[in-house]
Structure 1
Amino acid sequence: MAALPSRAAAGADLLFLREERLRFAQALMFLAQRDMAEAVASMLEEDGLGRAQYRVMQVLAFSPGMPVSRVQDILGVTKQSLGRTLHELEERAYLEIRRGREDRRQRLLFLTAAGQDAEARLFAVVRQRLMEAYREAGGAAVEGFGRVMLGMLSEHSRSVLANEGKVEAGRQHGG
């Protein structure tokens, strides 16, 4: 029968929970988010798009045909703010609004071919950064990263993934 680990040995596995490690992780997340936004900023500027438009495009690329109310809920923005953003995307012919089949009052949002192309160009930058980081870290680290990110999500955000059918797909692909 194996001996139980000593308290010191057991605690060694939890060094990642120390304050300085957690603050370092917070700094890494902040800087990574800032750098990812900066990586696409010049492309957004060239296309005359802002971050709000990009965020809507990301959501619709993630889940085409989403109702306006769901996009508003996911982004956590006011109806007025989202309305302006949707209008701007529609004017650029990046967005198409269709009536719901069962409920004609419902407005479903889709990226047009031009919107899909613009979002794909922006995602190509993000994809390249992720691929480089994933290659450098290796499969086990990528799997752990996915678990950590899922663990950080609120119940609301988890429901977004679950409702859009992306949680299982992400787990199947190592994320």
Structure 2
Amino acid sequence: MSRNHAAREQQGAGIHSLFLREEALDQGVELLYLAERCFAEAIEDTLARCGLTRAGHRALYFARRHPGLGVSQLKALLGLSKANLARLMRQLIERGLMTVDPAPVDRRQRLVRLTAAGEALLDEVAAAQRRRLGQAYRMAGADAVAGYRAVLRSLIEPRLRRLLPDDGAA
């Protein structure tokens, strides 16, 4: 075992024994706040140029990530009230970015899907997000990315976690 590897293991052991201390948790909260801010800022110009709000972007994002997503599931994922979701969806539909159609089996259920224009707009925004996240992933390395994904998944409430695909990544 190399000296460098042994030093990393020893340093890692210290982190593991301290990760639940108040200061470490506060630092984690701070990092989440700042990371979210920087991640959101990476797409602000694109959203403004496209005339899209953050909520509108998230609605399009979830509609694409989850084909056949129901309106009620979208409401749960976005955490919006019925009125706010209806207002947001009306805007996206009027702009030709999204459609809502009855489900083939249960016609009472309404399913959201992106139009070609919605796909194209989301591609533009997603490119900036992928660049930023890809850069961070490359800097952190594969083990850190797996740990990051595990922590984020654990932060999501179980009722919402069930809406996510089980992609095998922790």
Q: Is 1:48 the counterpart of 2:33 in the alignment? A: no
After TM superposition, the structure 1 = structure 2 runs for residues 24-63 of structure 1, keeping only pairs within 5 Å, are: 24-63=27-66
Q: Secondary structure at the match of 1:109?
A: strand
| Residue equivalent to 2:143 | 140
| CA–CA separation in structure 2 for the residues paired with 1:83 and 1:147 | 33
| Residue equivalent to 2:5 | none
| Residue equivalent to 1:18 | 21
| Residue equivalent to 1:3 | none
TM superposition score normalised by structure 2: 0.86
Query: Which segments of 5 or more consecutive residues in structure 1 lack a partner in the other structure?
Result: 1-10
| Residue equivalent to 1:89 | 92
Q: Any conservation in 2 of the 1:64–1:111 contact (CA below 8 Å)?
A: no
Q: Secondary structure at the match of 2:19?
A: helix
1:157 maps to which of 122, 135, 160: 160
| CA–CA separation in structure 1 for the residues paired with 2:150 and 2:55 | 28
* Structure 2 residue identity aligned to 1:150: R
* Structure 2 residue identity aligned to 1:147: A
| CA–CA separation in structure 2 for the residues paired with 1:102 and 1:157 | 24
1:65 shift after superposition: 2.1
| CA–CA separation in structure 1 for the residues paired with 2:102 and 2:19 | 50
Q: List 4+ stretches of structure 1 deviating above 3 A.
A: none
TM superposition score normalised by structure 1: 0.84
| CA–CA separation in structure 2 for the residues paired with 1:170 and 1:85 | 32
* Structure 1 residue identity aligned to 2:47: L
How many residues align structurally? 157
Query: Which segments of 5 or more consecutive residues in structure 2 lack a partner in the other structure?
Result: 1-12
| Residue equivalent to 1:125 | 128
* Structure 2 residue identity aligned to 1:51: R
Provide Cα deviations, 1:115-142, integer angstroms capped at 9, x if missing partner. 0111111111111111111111111111
Q: Secondary structure at the match of 1:101?
A: coil
Provide Cα deviations, 1:73-128, integer angstroms capped at 9, x if missing partner. 22121111111111110111100111111122221100001101111111111111
Query: What RMSD in Å do the two structures reach over aligned CA positions?
Result: 1.5
* Structure 2 residue identity aligned to 1:20: E
| CA–CA separation in structure 2 for the residues paired with 1:36 and 1:102 | 39
| CA–CA separation in structure 2 for the residues paired with 1:32 and 1:68 | 29
Q: Is 1:114 the counterpart of 2:117 in the alignment? A: yes
1:170 shift after superposition: 4.9
* Structure 1 residue identity aligned to 2:96: A
| Residue equivalent to 1:69 | 72
Q: Any conservation in 1 of the 2:97–2:115 contact (CA below 8 Å)?
A: yes
| CA–CA separation in structure 2 for the residues paired with 1:53 and 1:85 | 7
